[in-house]
Amino acid sequence: MSQLAPPPSRQQLRLRSIAWSLGAGIAALLLGLPLGLEAGLRAGGCGVLYGLLAFHLQRVDPDDSHLQAGLVGAVCGIHSLALPPLAPWPLPAPLPAALVAVAPTVMMGLVRAWLPLIGAALLLHGGQVLVRRLRPENGS
């Protein structure tokens, strides 16, 4: 008969939460540094927030991948709010022409901003899956 492991203590949960936050923050920082120091620091800060939220989401509903993907999108959106404006306001040209002019720059800016966070999320969850697979099961 296999015995269930006792639930983790509050102290253990706090340490895991901090580890997830630091892990995601450091991963995002390292992935963002090639884009510049400011981009790396912003990505690292958002990575810390993502890691903290991801840990608690994992505790509440570990099987809901839609919520996890939504969390990545939400943190990427938060990070996007800190990006500098790409065009003056009000626009000097009509709206369609102005959108065509800035669309490539906006898309590349978002890709550069989001890649470190998406990479950090993949590393964090990939590491979690690896730990689960390598951990011996209780009672085996």
Tell me the pLDDT tens digit for each residue of 99-140: 888 888 888 888 888 889 899 999 988 888 888 888 876 544
Which residue blocks in the chain are alpha helix, DSSP H? 10-32, 37-60, 65-81, 95-134
Residue 24 pLDDT level (bands cut at 50, 70, 90): very high
Contact of 131 with 123, CB cutoff 8 Å: no
Provide the pLDDT for residue 30: 94
Q: What is the pLDDT of residues 72-98, one digit of tens each?
A: 888 888 887 777 776 666 777 787 887
Higher pLDDT, 49 or 86: 49
Provide the pLDDT for residue 87: 65
H/E stretch holding 91 reads: none
What is the rounded end-to-end Cα distance, in angstroms, of the chain? Answer: 10
Two tokens, residue 64: 């809901």
| Predicted TM-score (pTM) of this structure | 0.73
